[in-house]
Amino acid sequence: THQWRGVIEEYRDRLPVGEHTPVVTLREGGTPLVPAQVLSERTGCEVHLKVEGANPTGSFKDRGMTMAITQAKEAGAKAVICASTGNTSASAAAYAVRAGMVCAVLVPQGKIALGKMGQALVHGSRILQVDGNFDDCLTLARELSEKYPVALVNSVNPARIEGQKTAAFEVVDALGDAPDIHVLPVGNAGNITAYWKGYQEYAVPSPQGHAAVSSRTPRMWGFQASGSAPIVRGEPVKDPHTIATAIRIGNPASWEQAERARDQSGGFIDEVTDRQILAAYRLLAAQEGVFVEPASAASVAGLLKAAEQGKVDPGQRIVCTVTGNGLKDPDWAVAGAPQPVTVAVDADAAAGSLGLA
Ligand code: F0G
């Protein structure tokens, strides 16, 4: 019998850990790569979804957090801090529990989904709601980590990128080679940076002497929400807005790295509107059976937009990462949906309501 051991143990020889490193894990990673039938038909391609909502705290952040908290523990840290639109804080809070550390989180007031707030609370983190946006939270978190004995676990911490690159390894391991195109939502731009690093590392012999695993690297396509699209605009957005609160970010920390991933891979970074995001969100749930949070649907919205623009040649192998679980932000599932019908405990009445009779 084999149980997935978490990304550090599964990819130990490609991560910055030593024999005696105290690994802090919830056995994250090993997430499903699900063939997407409807998206494949629509695009004439072979489309797969990397379902990162299947991670222990419901988002891809766990891959980076196992590395960041492990390194913090190895360095003797007693407390960690992060700025977050919700998922990073949920993940940091859970891994800090595993490590026996104090976790402080800074979130933009009123702009994080209820499920994520609930996670940070129930894992016992210390939450400060900041009168500002994510970018302000990150500025504050950086300053606190410079002045006080608390380790910063945002994706500006290189350990986060190291852990998150394992998602690219998993895609190659599952498909046998890199896809033609990899599509991602872009917020603070850590994840597109991490995937590109992972794909590049798998395409060359490893420092430990392993042969290259893949024969090539994919083109990286990133999508920001239109109201929060600094990389597309070419300048920071002062007051970012979008219903996809996870990617409501106006000045991404890994901006240059994201541009490098785009340019070195021959890809692009574009924007999708909230309307396009919500349409993709509904399509994923209603037609692919995959329930994601709105920000996650930006990748799929972007693929559909590119296909409509004729940018997607048929026959390609495409992976879209869907970054977080739909349960984190269920308001969007309920909003606009028909109200459930109430019936008595009566089979005939129930059958009538269901249209079976
Ligand atoms: N999708 C989800 C669900 C996210 O939570 C995030 C980022 C992204 C996409 C974008 O990834 O920042 O690496 O480009 N969430 C961060 C947070 C900002 O605080 O949870 P990115």
- pLDDT tens by residue, 310-352: 999 999 999 999 999 999 999 999 998 889 999 999 999 999 9
pLDDT for 209: 87
Q: 140 with 65, same domain?
A: yes
Smallest CA-to-CA distance from 253 within 109, 167, 141, 107 is with: 141
Q: 232 with 152, same domain?
A: no
User: Cβ-count burial of 32 within 10 angstroms (0-12 exposed, 13-18 middle, 19+ buried)?
Assistant: middle
* Interface confidence: ipTM more than 0.95: yes
Distances in Å between the Cα of 355 and the Cα atoms of 342, 349, 350 are 14, 10, 9
Q: How many domains does the chain have?
A: 2
**How many angstroms is it from 247 CA to the middle of ligand 1?**
6
Q: 67 with 216, same domain?
A: no
pLDDT for 42: 98
- Count of C-beta atoms within a 10 Å radius of residue 309: 9
Domain ranges, residue 147:
61-156
- Judge whether 320 lies within some domain: yes
DSSP state letters, 237-264: -SS---S-GGG--SS-TTHHHHHHHHHH
Give yes or no for residue 324 CB within 6 A of ligand 1. yes
Domain boundary among 129, 156, 183: 156
Contacts (Cβ under 8 Å, ≥6 apart) of 200: 217
Domain boundary among 156, 173, 194: 156
The enclosing domain of 123 has a CATH number of: 3.40.50.1100
- Judge whether 102 lies within some domain: yes
- For 246-297, the pLDDT digits (tens) are 999 999 999 999 999 999 999 999 999 999 999 999 999 999 999 999 999 9
Q: 14 with 73, same domain?
A: no
Q: 226 with 273, same domain?
A: yes
pLDDT for 2: 87
Task: Judge whether 95 and 66 are in contact, CB under 8 Å.
Answer: yes
Contacts (Cβ under 8 Å, ≥6 apart) of 30: 4, 7, 10, 170
**How many angstroms is it from 188 CA to the middle of ligand 1?**
6
- Judge whether 194 lies within some domain: yes
Give the H/E segment covering residue 92. Answer: helix 87-99
User: Cβ-count burial of 354 within 10 angstroms (0-12 exposed, 13-18 middle, 19+ buried)?
Assistant: exposed
**How many angstroms is it from 75 CA to the middle of ligand 1?**
26
Q: 189 with 253, same domain?
A: yes
- Judge whether 328 lies within some domain: yes
Q: 144 with 278, same domain?
A: no
Give yes or no for residue 167 CB within 6 A of ligand 1. no
With a cut of 50, list the residues of the chain below it in pLDDT.
none
